[in-house]
Chain A
């Protein structure tokens, strides 16, 4: 995107525009932009609540371009990735996607992301943060080539119940046959698109990967195709609400990247984050395996769980106690919201053993400001199943026509 950056020295533009910036700027009504991985991106277009309802009830468009993308290719690419992440990727077929986490030697999470198998020996890894140093270090001893391709690919997330219908309208033939975590290439209105049935909302949805030179064309075509299906551009704030309902974790909110922590005991393992289902001890060695096995042997000291909290006040950052008096502290909330769809006051929280067992009750210390008069409330909370929101339609193929 050197053209949009112009000829001015790079330091005069610390944040880059994404290929969709022009369109986003035009739609932005509250001028709320936030930096993300070196790009300026929309936090809110108009109103986060309205944008949230577009995700849940119609169809939302979210600019995903700053998502860091790596191309991993070479004869050892598969073996390399299988040693990098905790999941068994030997089973990942071409045209399939896998959600993965990877750990440092101590078994603590560095980041999560999605692995796309593009070919027999070619993969793409998408992550929230830049990871090139770790990826390169992990490549010692493997015949792989690694390169960052973030700028070469423009990406949009199209999420919500009407997303499939919108793509059909766009002329993406056969999109209804795409299964969850599958991707394929399509030709639509003169564009070549890679589309994956993936997303961060826990609902029916797709991610579109395109040539950045066709960004405006893609955006306009989608908006036109989606007009009758309630399409709406959304910012990060609305997406964050949806991802909490879906029980997805956010780096630096629900955990800190293990290579970025300084204090002892602040890194988190996938087992502690409730991601044990992503850890496969039988697939051969991967970084952190021995440490995780040791953690299994010793038992978990804490775990991230879902909470249902009494009342309707979001328990953001609340400390959690075993007793109502608040004398035995047992953890804290990492993400919290009133879920409009579930009609529940939900939270993700890190809780010490043994309080993370399903059904355990505890107390959340919630602070409320009533016109700057602060009030402290102890709200009863219960450990519940995650995700909080998981509609059947997210899995059904072909998707219903909403």
Chain B
């Protein structure tokens, strides 16, 4: 049966999902000479890294809205700039908005510097703190970009990669190493209180630690998530926080260009219903349309629950493995607000030139922690923390002339809202606009249209079960060598011929492409060429 399936296989590999990781995986596979077919359920590419219209004439990066974690190396390797990737803005600074008074400006590149309402101690402290963090980030970056070892094996490759990590930490020197080990398990709240006095500065840095996670700044492990973010950013190099011209969808388009140029085929509106299994091997897929396509291997960029429980099915997997997948924490806490504006709003305390920065509403650590509290009890924040971009300032083509787009990530908005989202969606959107109005008086009257995406909305639109930023929550027990679950690390799965390449794998979510690239390597190593 297996021999028959293999003989007829039309492709070396089918990639399920045309999100950025699926496309990166396809591109690397195709460049290695494999015949590849990408099947995307939606009628466009990009997954949660996309650009689409949300109001007539207004387009927005409707999922991820900043590119800051894609390794410069990957962009080069796949020649994404040659395939059309352009930059509307690079090295964006961050502006921490104050409830009243001047905003705090954090530089976006080069030596870390700070401008605004902080004393000298905090100013100098910030440079020192960031330098230390950057050293740690540099140590962690290779761990982030490599396939993690498997635990408890006797294999040398696994031991070696653990030893390398240990060695890199050791090489930090005694003082830094001690400090890293001291803070690694800490919560970011305590760490930032140790270092800084300005609540505004603390809030801004604390927000970065919890952005996209299911934590508040007082949760243990949040220093780790901050370091993780910085480590990913480290790989992105000088470009740091960037806005691709045309929105995040442009990244997907460039990746698709690279994949196609190397020979990959891409089909849209082709939702996969099931992975075909014969003789205990993945040997193709069946589309929802009923069409079957054979392949010698299948790799899924859909989230692990969708991939295993939906597409493969428990029937082909062992009980404890299925239980682990079933118990993954996958409920998202971040919402997305899009505003189509008739003019440019004016944020108080923010210089006109800084409106194109990444704006944060996270005025203190307690503010963020309070915002988080609600979500523990099934409510959305009364006063959420926000990350705001107005991409039209550097990329006016996203809106009709003179008009603007505001895109905001909103924390926290639980997937499972008590009472359900249906009755509260409208009021929450209204509440967010009121909140923005307080920071930018007159904004409300500029709002022509708005769109609020809650985690359930994103679950529907992006087909991510739970609507989570990272597909699978990024926390110590779902991290690195055990991500997404033991038995499915290293992009391999218990089902021979079936691989994972999405954000559910190490190193997690964020538009990086690393999971896609590393999965391709594992497939190339594990599946001999035809």
Task: State the A residues within 8 Å of B (CB).
Answer: 79, 83-84, 104-105, 134, 137-138, 140-142, 284-285, 287-290
Contact = CB atoms under 8 A, between A and B. Distances in A.
A289 B487 CA distance: 14
Given A105-B487, A289-B280, A141 B315 contact: yes
Contact of B280 (A137, A141, A285, A288): A285
B323 A137 contact: yes
Given A289-B280, A290-B494, A141 B320 contact: no
Given A104-B319, A141-B313, 7 more contacts: A79-B315, A105-B320, A140-B309, A141-B322, A287-B319, A289-B280, A290-B280
Given A105-B319, A140-B326, A141-B322, A83 B280 contact: no
Nearest to A286: B318
Interface centre among A84, A134, A138, A142, by most chain B C-beta atoms within 10 angstroms, is A138
Interface string B303-315: 0000001000111
A285 B319 contact: no
B316 interface: yes
A304 to B, nearest CB: 23
Interface in B286-331: 309, 313-323, 326
Contacts of B487: 105
25 contacts: A79-B315, A83-B314, A84-B319, A104-B318, A105-B319, A105-B487, A134-B319, A137-B320, A137-B323, A140-B314, A140-B322, A140-B326, A141-B313, A141-B314, A142-B315, A284-B315, A285-B277, A285-B315, A285-B316, A285-B317, A287-B318, A287-B319, A290-B280, A290-B318, A290-B494
Contacts of A288: 318
A287 B322 CA distance: 10
Contacts of B314: 83, 140-142
Contacts of B315: 79, 83, 141-142, 284-285
Contact of A105 (B280, B318, B326): B318
A263 to B, nearest CB: 15
A90 to B, nearest CB: 13
Given A79-B315, A141-B313, A141-B314, A104 B280 contact: no
B315 to A, nearest CB: 6
A271 B315 CA distance: 22
A216 B148 CA distance: 64
Nearest to A110: B319
Interface in B482-498: 487, 494
A134 B313 CA distance: 18
Contacts of A284: 315
Nearest to B322: A140
B524 to A, nearest CB: 23
A141 B319 contact: no
Contacts of A142: 314-315
A142 B309 CA distance: 10
Interface centre among B277, B313, B315, B317, by most chain A C-beta atoms within 10 angstroms, is B315
Contacts of B320: 104-105, 137, 287
Interface string B324-346: 00100000000000000000000
A79 B322 CA distance: 16
Given A105-B487, A285-B316, A285-B317, A141 B323 contact: no
A285 B309 CA distance: 15
A290 B492 CA distance: 14
B80 to A, nearest CB: 39
Interface of B: 277, 280, 309, 313-323, 326, 487, 494
B200 to A, nearest CB: 47
A152 to B, nearest CB: 26
Contacts of A141: 309, 313-315, 322
Interface centre among B313, B318, B320, B326, by most chain A C-beta atoms within 10 angstroms, is B318
A142 B494 CA distance: 19
Contacts of B318: 104-105, 287-290
Contacts of B322: 137-138, 140-141
A90 B280 CA distance: 18
A19 to B, nearest CB: 33
A83 B316 CA distance: 8
B439 to A, nearest CB: 46
B405 to A, nearest CB: 42
A62 B147 CA distance: 58
A172 B320 CA distance: 44
Top 10 A-B residue pairs of the complex, sorted by shortest distance between their CB atoms:
A141-B314, A105-B318, A287-B318, A137-B323, A138-B319, A287-B319, A105-B320, A285-B316, A140-B326, A140-B322
A61 to B, nearest CB: 37
A140 B323 contact: yes
Contacts of A134: 319
A62 B278 CA distance: 46
Contacts of B319: 84, 104-105, 134, 137-138, 287
B443 to A, nearest CB: 47
Nearest to A136: B323
A105 B309 contact: no
A21 to B, nearest CB: 36
Contacts of A105: 318-321, 487
Contacts of A290: 280, 318, 494
Interface centre among A79, A140, A289, by most chain B C-beta atoms within 10 angstroms, is A140
Contacts of A137: 319-320, 322-323
A113 to B, nearest CB: 16
A69 B28 CA distance: 53
A72 to B, nearest CB: 14
Nearest to A83: B315
A94 B439 CA distance: 71
Contacts of A83: 314-315
A79 B316 CA distance: 11
B269 to A, nearest CB: 27
A137 B309 CA distance: 13
A138 B320 CA distance: 8
Contacts of A79: 315
Nearest to A76: B315
A231 B318 CA distance: 46
Nearest to A133: B323
B492 to A, nearest CB: 12
Interface centre among A137, A138, A141, by most chain B C-beta atoms within 10 angstroms, is A141
A288 B323 CA distance: 14
Nearest to B320: A105
Nearest to A288: B318
A289 B323 CA distance: 17
Contacts of B309: 140-141
Contacts of B316: 285
B6 to A, nearest CB: 19
B147 to A, nearest CB: 21
B127 to A, nearest CB: 51
Nearest to B494: A290
A166 to B, nearest CB: 41
A79 B314 CA distance: 11
A287 B320 CA distance: 8
Contacts of A287: 318-320
Nearest to B487: A105
A285 B314 CA distance: 10
